[in-house]
Structure 1
Amino acid sequence: MPLSLEEVAQHNSIRSCWVIIKNRVYDVTEFLPEHPGGAKIILKYAGRDATTAYEPIHPPDALDKNLPPEKHLGELNIAGTAALQKERETRKKTKDEIRVEQAQADVAMKVMSHKAMAYYSSAADDETTHRENARAFSRFFFHPRILRPISKVDVSTTILGIKSSIPVFVSGAALAKLGHPLGEVNITKGAGRTGIIQMVSSNASLSPSQIAEGRLSPSQPLFFQLYKHGDNSIAQKRVREVEQLGYRAIFLTVDAPVSGNRERDIRAPYDLEEQEREGEPTDGQTAGEMPRQPDDVEKEIEGQQPNLYGTAGALLQNMDLDMTFKETIPWLRSVTKLPIALKVSRYIIPTVRLMLSAIQDAVLAAEAGVDAILLSNHGGDSLPPLEVLYKIRQQRPDLFNKLESMFTGFTSRASHVLKALCLGAKAVGMGRPFLYAQSAYGEAGVVQAVRILQREIILGMRLLGVTSVDQLVPELVERVDWQPLLARL
C-alpha cells in the first residue's frame, strides 16, 4: 500500500528512521551507523523528504546497493506526492541557492554552491602545500631551442598504450553533481568529443555503469580510480564491475587512506547555517521562541558526534587502512586479470597504478611490478609532486624505463604540462579544471577546456622548438630556487 506523509513522519528518530527519496520511502534505521557521512545528516531528514540533500552526492543506484529489498517500503501516496511537489515549488530558497541562480551566466566559482566550492577547492590544514603545488612550477624554467622547423606539431601521445589527443587526462575527482546536475557524464561526453581519457572516481556522483553509458562509443576509454574498501570481497566486486563495463585500467589510490584536515570543507555546513541566520534573532531562536538552553544541543543530537570529516572525509570512511606493497598489489593483480578477449586474441590485463608522493615508494612500486605511478599528494602536507618528479629524474632516472610516470598536482596551464613532461611524466592529470568547467558550462565547458589546453600546448612546444611530445626532454628545463638567491642579496 502507498504510504502517507503522516505515516512517514512518525519515523523521525534514531530508533526508527524513514526518509523519502524521489517519492519513494526507505527505512534507513539499521543503515545509520554504516553511513559514511555519519548518522546526523540522515537524521536531519528523518520522517521527511531528503531528495534535495541526497541527489547531488549519491549515484542513483546507491539505495539499491546499500539497502536490502525489505527496506524499500514503497511509494508515497498521491496526496503525499502532491504535497511534496507543492512544498518544493513554494519552499523558501536559501541565500546560497539564490546566489547560485543569480550567477548562472557567470564563471564557475560564482555559479557553484558553497558546498561545491568548499569541497572542490579545499586542501589540508592551512592549505600551504596546496599553494606550494602551484608555486613549484615557478621554480622550473625552460631552455628553448631556436631555428628549428616547427610548422607541423603533433601533440598526441599514448597513455598506457591508449591514444590521447593531448598528453592530458581527466584525473579522478568525486561528486561532479555538486557543480552541475548531469555530473560526470558532462566530462565523459566532453572527453569523448576531444579524444582524451577520463579517470572515474570510486566516489563519483554517478555509478560506473551510468558513466560508461554516457560514452560516445563503447570503445571510448575510461580509467577507474579505486579507493579500496577494507573488505576485500566488496573491493573485488567493484573491480569486477568496472572490468565488465569496459574500463581499461585501475588506478589504486594509496596516498589518501584517510582524508586530510580540509577545514574549508568541514566548515561548509556551519557557514551555510550562519548565512541563513544573518538578520534573524540571535541565539538561534525564531521570533517568540525561548532562548536555547545549554542542554538543548545534547538532546538534539542524541549522542551523535559533530561533523569532523566534511564531504571529503565522509567519502573515505570505509577505506582499507592496512594496504601494503607485499599484500595489496598481488591481491589486486589476482582480481584484475580479464578473460581472453577474442577480438584481439590475447589476454587483456588492466594495469595497476599507484598515486605516490615519495621517491622511496616509487622504487618500491617498480619492485612490486606495477605498470605505472601517478605522482600526487592530494593537496596534503607533503612535497609537491613536481619536486618528487624532479627528484626521481635526478636520483633514479632508471625508473622511467621500468614504469610509466604520470603526474597530477595543481596543474592548470599548458606550461605546467610541458614542464612535467620534460622531467619524465608520460601524461598529466587534471581534476579541478574539468570540475570547474563542467560546473559552469556542462559538456561544452569540458570541450572548451581541452581546446584551450591543446592550443596552449602547441604554442608552448613551438616556442620550445619541438614538434612532438617525445622531444620534450630534461635538458629543456632547469630548476632555479629564487628564495636562497634573494636571501644573499
Structure 2
Amino acid sequence: MAIGSKKISLLELRNHSRDGDAWTAINGTVWNISKLASAHPGGEEVIRDSYGRDATKTYNSVHGARLIARYLGEGARLGTLDGDESEDKVPDNGPESLGKNQGQFKMPALDSILNLYDFEDVAQKALTERSWAYSSGASNDSLTHAANVDWYRRIFFRPRVLKGVGEVDISTTILGQRYEIPIFNCPVSLVKLAHPDGELAVARAAVTNGTATIIPTMASFAVDEIVEVLPAGYPFFFQLYVNSDRAVTEKLLAEVVSLKPRAILVTVDLPVFGKREANERYEYKAQKQKQKQKQKLANARSASTAIDPQLQWKDIAWIKEVTGVPVFIKGVQCAADARRAYEYGCAGIYISNHGGRAVDTAPPGILTLMEIQANCPEVLSQMEVFIDGGIRRGSDILKAICLGASAICIGRPFFYALAYGQEGVERAFQILRDELAVAMQLNGITKLSEASPSLLNTAALDKYVYRSNSHPWAKKIDRSRL
C-alpha cells in the first residue's frame, strides 16, 4: 500500500501530537506537520493547536483546500483519516469558533450600501470576532491608521468651472497596460476570513471592473488557483514577502513568473510584525477558552521565517535578476527611499504604511507622497506610483493622482465588502468609480492626465512636509567620547 493511501485512525493521529512528531488531519488527509510550526507565517501556536487532531475547520476558515499540498509537498502526505472518524465527529475548539458567525446577522440589501463606510458598519456585525479583530486592528494606538483617513480630509480642492465635462474618462495606463480604472486591491493576506471565496472573489470582481488584481504571498489560495479564475493572459500583480530561506523565495518566484505577472511588489515595511493589540486580545480570549496553561501573546505578531528581517537593498537587485520582471518597492515611507528605489532600477514604488499595521505614528501615505513631490518630483515621472492607506472616497483617489500617484489600492474596505462575496467587492468598485468620475467633473477635468497639484489646496499639511532627508533643526547626539 502506498504511504499516501494508508488508513489512519483518530487514536493513531492523537499519538503524534508533539514538536518533532506532529500529525494533523485536514479534509480527510493526514499530514506530517512536524517541521511546520517554526516556518508558519501565522506563528507557531496555531500549528501546535493542530497537533494530533482533525484541524479541518480551523484550516478551511483561512485556506483553500489545495494550498497545504503546495506548501508541505506530497512527501508530507501520510494517508487518509479513517472514514468512520470524520471531522464532523471530532470536537474542534479552534479559535475561529469564538464569537458571532456569518449567517447570524441579516445583512442589509447590497443596493442600500452607498459608500465604503457602510460596508465597514455591516462587516463589524457580520464577520466573526476573529475576522473583525484581524481586519480592523492596527498597531499600538492606531494613530497612523486614523491619520491615513484624516489627512485626506485636510486637503481641499480648487475646482475649475466652465470646462465642458459632459463625458469623463477614468481609465489609466500602468506599465503600458490600459485599465478602466486606477483602482487595485491591496494584497491583504487571508481574505478567506471574510468570505469562503476569498481572493478568488476579489480577482473576479477586478476583472468585471476592467482592472487587475494584486495577489498576496499569504493568500488563502495558491497563486495558480487565483490566476485560473482570470481570463487567459489577463494581467495581475504579485506581492512578495521575502522568506528567510532564499531557496523558498526563489521557488515561489519561479512559480509566479511562469504565470506571467505584470510586476512583483516586494513588501519592505514589515521586517517584523507590529504590535496589533486587537489581534492579541483576541488570541488571549481564544487561548483562555481553550484553558491553556501559558498565554503566548507574542504569537499574535510572530512572522516566523516567512518574512526575512534581514532584507536589504541588495536583495532587490537579486529579485530583479532571478525574475526578469518589473519590481516595485512596497512600503515606501520617505522621499529618500523613493529616490533609492529609482536608483536601483525599480519600475515603481508603492507608498504604504501597511494600513497602520507596521510602526505606529509612521506618516500617512498622502504625506509621504507630498514629501516625494517636495524633494524628488523627477522620481514620480520615471516610475509608476501606487499608494494605499485611508482612501475611502473617489475624491481621495483624485487627490492622490493630482499629487503624482499612478493608481491607488484599497485594503480594509474591500475586505469588508467581501462579506457580501464577489458582488460586494463589485459594488465597492462601482461606488469608487462613480465617486471618482463625479469628483473629476466637479473639478473641471475629464481625463486623469489633466489632474495636477494646481487643483489642490494642501496648506493645512504643507508645514508637515520635510524638504530634505534630515531633520530641519535637531542634530544626532554622539556621546561615544564621554
> What interval of TM-score do these two structures reach, taking the shorter chain for normalisation?
0.7 to 0.9
Aligned amino acid, residue 330 of structure 1: A
Out of 290, 294, 297, the residue aligned to residue 307 of structure 1 is 297
Matched with 2:76 is 71
- Is the aligned partner of 1:432 residue 2:432? no
Pick aligned residue for 1:332 from 313, 319, 325: 319
CA contact (8 A) 1:56 1:177 kept: yes
Partner of 2:30: 25
Which of 378, 396, 417 is 1:416 aligned to? 396
Q: 2: distance between equivalents of 1:386 and 1:148?
A: 27
1:444 correspondence with 2:459:
no
Q: d(CA) in 1 for partners of 2:334 and 2:322?
A: 27
1-structure distance, mates of 2:262, 2:8? 44
TM-score, with length taken from structure 1 = 0.84
Q: What is the aligned counterpart of 1:153 among 141, 147, 168?
A: 168
The structural deviation recorded for 1:235 is 1.3
Structure 2: distance between partners of 1:138 and 1:39: 41
Aligned partner of residue 214 in structure 2, secondary structure: strand
- Alpha-carbon distance in structure 1 between the residues aligned to 2:182 and 2:331: 18
Residue aligning to 2:353 = 377
Give me the CA root mean square deviation. Answer: 2.5
Q: How many residues align?
A: 440
Aligned equivalents of 2:442 and 2:210: distance in 1? Answer: 24
2:366 to 386, 408, 421: 386
**Conserved? CA contact 2:194–2:416, under 8 Å:** yes
SS at 1:224 equivalent: strand
In the other structure, the counterpart of 1:344 is none
2:26, 2:56 within 8 Å by CA — same for their partners in 1? yes
Q: Could you report, residue by residue, the CA deviation over 1:359-398 in whole angstroms, capped at 9, with x for unpaired residues?
A: 1111111111211111111113211110111122123222
Instruction: Determine the structure 1 residue equivalent to 2:383.
Output: 403
SS at match of 1:405: strand
Counterpart amino acid of 1:85? D
Q: Distance in 2 between matches of 1:95 and 1:246?
A: 40
Alpha-carbon distance, 1:231 to partner: 2.1
Distance change >3 Å, CA 27–CA 323, structure 1 → 2: closer
Residue 198 (structure 1) shift: 1.0
User: Is 1:5 aligned to 2:10, yes or no?
Assistant: yes
Q: Please tell me the residue identity of whatever aligns with 1:211.
A: I
C-alpha contact 1:250 1:352 (8 A) present in aligned 2: yes
Choose from 196, 204, 216 the match for 1:189. Answer: 204
- 3-state SS of the aligned residue for 1:229? coil
**SS where residue 103 of structure 1 aligns?**
coil
Query: What is the identity percentage for the equivalent residue pairs of Structure 1 and Structure 2?
Result: 33
Shift of 1:78: 2.3
Contact 1:60/1:207 (8 A) holds in 2: no
Match of 2:245 among 231, 247, 250: 231
- Indicate whether 1:243 and 2:245 are aligned: no
1:35 aligns with 2:43: no
User: Cα 1:482–1:237, aligned 2, differ >3 Å: closer, same or farther?
Assistant: closer
Matched residue, 1:352 = 328
Name the CA distance, whole Å, in 1 between partners of 2:222 and 2:403: 36
How far apart are residue 424 of structure 1 and its match?
0.8
Q: Identify the residue that residue 99 of structure 2 maps to in structure 1.
A: 96
Structure 2 CA distance for aligned equivalents of residues 105 and 414 of structure 1: 24
CA distance in 1, matches of 2:432, 2:72: 43
Alpha carbons of structure 1 residues 126 and 483: separation in structure 2 relative to 1, 3 Å: farther
Inter-CA distance 227–152: structure 2 relative to 1 (3 Å threshold): same
1:137 aligns with 152
Distance 2:398 2:73 in 1: 50
Closer, same or farther in 2 for the Cα pair 1:253/1:483, shift >3 Å? closer
Q: 1:476 to 1:450 in 2, by over 3 A?
A: same
Corresponding residue SS for 2:425: helix
Structure 2 Cα separation of the partners of residues 27 and 257 of structure 1:
29
What whole-Å deviation, never above 9, does each CA across 1:216-267 have from its counterpart, x for those lacking one? x113211000111122222122111111112221001111111111111122
**Structure 1: which 5+ runs fail to align?**
278-283, 285-295, 338-348, 485-489
AA in 1 matched with 2:9: S
Contact 2:243–2:249 (CA under 8 A) maintained in structure 1: yes
Runs of 4+ in 1 over 6 A off after TM superposition: none
Which residue of 2 is the match for residue 128 of structure 1? 143
Distance (whole Å) between structure 2 residues aligned to residue 464 and residue 350 of structure 1: 34
Q: Larger C-alpha radius of gyration, 1 or 2?
A: 1
2:306 is the alignment partner of 1:318: yes
- Distance (Å, rounded) in 2 between the aligned partners of 1:354 and 1:79: 49
Counterpart of 2:174, as a letter, is: I
The aligned residue for residue 222 of structure 1 is 236
Output the amino acid matched with 1:441: Y
1:168-214: CA deviation from partner (whole Å, max 9, x where unpaired): 11121110101111110000111111101111110111110110011
Bigger Cα displacement from structure 2, 475-484 vs 234-243? 475-484
Shift of 1:152: 0.9
Could you tell me how far 1:15 is from its partner in structure 2?
Answer: 5.4
Deviation at 1:406, TM superposition (A): 1.8
Partner Cα distance (1:3, 1:200) in 2: 36
- Aligned mates of 2:413, 2:309 — CA distance in 1: 30
1: CA distance between counterparts of 2:88 and 2:374? Answer: 63
Task: Measure how far apart 1:44 and its partner are.
Answer: 2.4
